[in-house]
């Protein structure tokens, strides 16, 4: 029994060491800065000045399949339609942070 418990905790420790990124939360303060500098011109307050029906509000994100961190990161990275791609302009960390910020704000109702 002791051996089983020891193996369990050893497995947890190995996972924590091998996958440290999963344990770290995105930096929402940095996401705010990235959003304000790069996104707010078109998306201030969660709105969309180009296509009003595709806002960053939770119901619109859900309606268009953009209600996950991965979907938002893909949109920011690659752009689509009138939205430019930010790949090459923002680092992967900045994209992660701004996507987390957008998802957080949408869940809180902007």
- Residue 2 has a pLDDT of 74
- Residue 18 has a pLDDT of 66
Residue list, annotated binding site: 39, 42-43, 83
For residue 5, being part of any structural domain is answered with: no
Residue 72: how many other CB atoms lie within 10 Å: 22
- Residue 16 has a pLDDT of 65
When pLDDT is cut at 50, 70 and 90, the band that residue 81 belongs to is very high
* Secondary structure (DSSP) of 17-77: HH-HHHHSPP-HHHHHHHHHHHTHHHHGGG--SSSTTS-SSHHHHHHTT--SHHHHHHHHH
Among 13-27, 58-72, 82-96, the range scoring the smallest mean pLDDT is 13-27
For residue 16, being part of any structural domain is answered with: no
For residue 11, being part of any structural domain is answered with: no
Q: pLDDT tens digits for 14-52? A: 766 665 544 357 999 999 999 999 999 999 999 999 999
pTM of structure: 0.77
- Residue 21 has a pLDDT of 47
Q: Which range marks the domain in which residue 31 is found?
A: 26-107
Domain count, the chain: 1
For residue 11, is pLDDT > 80? no
- Read off the pLDDT of each residue in 59-69 and give the average, rounded to a whole number: 97
Residue list, annotated binding site for heme c: 39, 42-43, 83
For residue 39, give the CATH number of its domain. 1.10.760.10
């Amino acid at each position: 029994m002791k051996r089983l418990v020891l193996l369990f905790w050893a497995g947890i420790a190995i996972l924590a060491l091998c996958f440290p990124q999963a344990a770290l939360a995105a930096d929402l303060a940095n996401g705010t800065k990235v959003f304000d500098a790069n996104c707010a011109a078109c998306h201030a307050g969660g709105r969309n000045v180009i296509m009003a029906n595709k806002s960053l509000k939770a119901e619109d994100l859900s309606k268009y399949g953009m209600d996950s961190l991965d979907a938002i990161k893909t949109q920011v990275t690659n752009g689509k339609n009138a939205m430019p791609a930010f790949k090459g302009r923002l680092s992967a960390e900045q994209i992660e942070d701004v996507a987390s910020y957008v998802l957080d704000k949408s869940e809180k109702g902007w």
